[in-house]
Amino acid sequence: MNVSDSVVRNLHQLLVQIAEIKSQIERGPRQIKAAQLQVDTAKDALQKCKDTIKQKKMETDRKQLQLREREAKIHDWEGKMNSATNNREFQAIKEQIAADTQANNVLSDEILETLEEIDSFQALSKEYEEKLKLTEAEKVKTDNNVAARIATLQQELIRVEGNLAKVEEQLTPEFKVDYKRLVSSRGADAMAQLEDVSCGGCNTGLTPRILDKLRMGNPFVCPSCSRLLYRPECPF
Ligand SMILES: [Zn+2]
C-alpha cells in the first residue's frame, strides 16, 4: 500500500474525532426529549390530582344534597309522629326516624372524610405545581445549553472535517479508492492501531510477515477483520 502509516494514523484520528463530535451533537435532541418528558410527567401528575379534587368535590356535593334531603324527610316524619293515630304507627315512624338519622350520621362522617381528602389533594396539587414550574425552568435551561453546545460542536466539526479533507487531498488516487470504500462502509471503524503484536480492532494475533510490513511503516489490512492497520505513534 503506497501510503505512510502516519497518514493512516492521522486519517483514523480525525475520523474518530468526527464520529465523537457527531455523537455528541446527536445527544442534544435526546437530552431535550428527556427534559420534555419530565415536564409532561409533571403536567400529567398535576392534572390527575386536579381531576381527583374535582371528582371528590362533586361526590361531596352529591352527598351533602342527599344529607339535606334526608334531614327534610326526618323533619316530615317528626311532624307525622304527632299525628299518629295508634301506637304501632307511632313506633314505625320512630323507627324510620332512627334509621334515617343513623344513615345521615354515616353520611356526615363520609363527607368529613372526603373533605379531609380534598385538603390533602389540594396540598399535593400545590407541590405538583411547584414541581411543574421547576421542570419547565429546567427544560428552558436544557434547550439553551444544548443549542449553545451544538453550535460550538458544529464549528468544531467544520474545523476537523476541513483538516480531514486536507489530509485526503494528499492521498494517492489508488489508495484513495480503497480508503473511500473502507470508510464509506465502516466509518472510523475502518482502521485500527497495532497493539503490540495484535490487531487493535479485533485482537487477532498477526503473523510475523504482517508485523514486518507494519514495522516498516506500511499499513496493512488485518486478515481477520479487514481493518486497515497502522503503528501507534512513536512517543520519541
Ligand atoms: Zn483485526
What is the tens place of the pLDDT at every residue in 137-184? 999 999 999 999 999 999 999 999 999 999 999 999 988 998 999 999
Look at residue 234 and tell me whether its pLDDT is greater than 80.
no
**Pick from 32-36, 124-128, 213-217: least confident:** 213-217
220 Cα: distance to centroid of ligand 1 (angstroms)? 10
194 Cα: distance to centroid of ligand 1 (angstroms)? 9
Tell me the C-alpha to C-alpha distance, in Å, between residue 228 and each of 12, 29, 160, 198.
9, 33, 21, 13
Residue 3 has a pLDDT of 82
Residue 118 and residue 53 in contact, taking contact as beta carbons nearer than 8 Å: yes
φ, ψ (nearest 5 deg) of residue 193:
-90, 145
| Calpha distance 6→8 (Å, rounded) | 5
227 Cα: distance to centroid of ligand 1 (angstroms)? 6
Residue 47 has a pLDDT of 98
Cα 52 from chain centroid? Answer: 27
211 Cα: distance to centroid of ligand 1 (angstroms)? 13
Q: At what angle do helices 87-169 and 5-82 cross, to 10 degrees?
A: 170
223 Cα: distance to centroid of ligand 1 (angstroms)? 7
Ligand 1 ion: residues within 5 Å (CB):
199, 201-202, 222, 224-225, 227
Q: pLDDT digits over 175-187, tens only? A: 899 899 999 999 9
| Calpha distance 45→132 (Å, rounded) | 9
125 Cα: distance to centroid of ligand 1 (angstroms)? 60
> For strand 198-199 and strand 191-195, is the pairing parallel, antiparallel, or unpaired?
antiparallel
234 Cα: distance to centroid of ligand 1 (angstroms)? 21
Residue 9 has a pLDDT of 94
Q: pLDDT digits over 6-57, tens only? A: 999 999 999 999 999 999 999 999 999 999 999 999 999 999 999 999 999 9
Q: Is the dihedral of CA 35, 36, 41, 44 positive or negative?
A: positive
Residue 219 is classified by DSSP as -
Residue 2 is classified by DSSP as -
186 Cα: distance to centroid of ligand 1 (angstroms)? 13
Helix (H, G, I), strand (E, B) or coil at 231: coil
- State the pLDDT confidence band at 236, using cuts at 50, 70 and 90: low
Q: Assign domain 23-168 one CATH number from 1.10.287.1700, 3.40.50.720, 3.90.1150.10, 1.10.510.10.
A: 1.10.287.1700
Strand partners, 39: none
Measured at the CA of 173, the angle between CA 167 and CA 177, to 5 degrees, comes to 90
Nearest to 7 by CA among 158, 151, 148, 163: 163
Look at residue 113 and tell me whether its pLDDT is greater than 70.
yes
Q: pLDDT digits over 87-98, tens only? A: 999 999 999 999
| Calpha distance 119→174 (Å, rounded) | 79
Residue 86 has a pLDDT of 92
206 Cα: distance to centroid of ligand 1 (angstroms)? 9
- State the pLDDT confidence band at 82, using cuts at 50, 70 and 90: confident
9 Cα: distance to centroid of ligand 1 (angstroms)? 15
102 Cα: distance to centroid of ligand 1 (angstroms)? 86
> For strand 198-199 and strand 228-230, is the pairing parallel, antiparallel, or unpaired?
unpaired
Sequence spans of domains, the chain: 23-168, 172-236
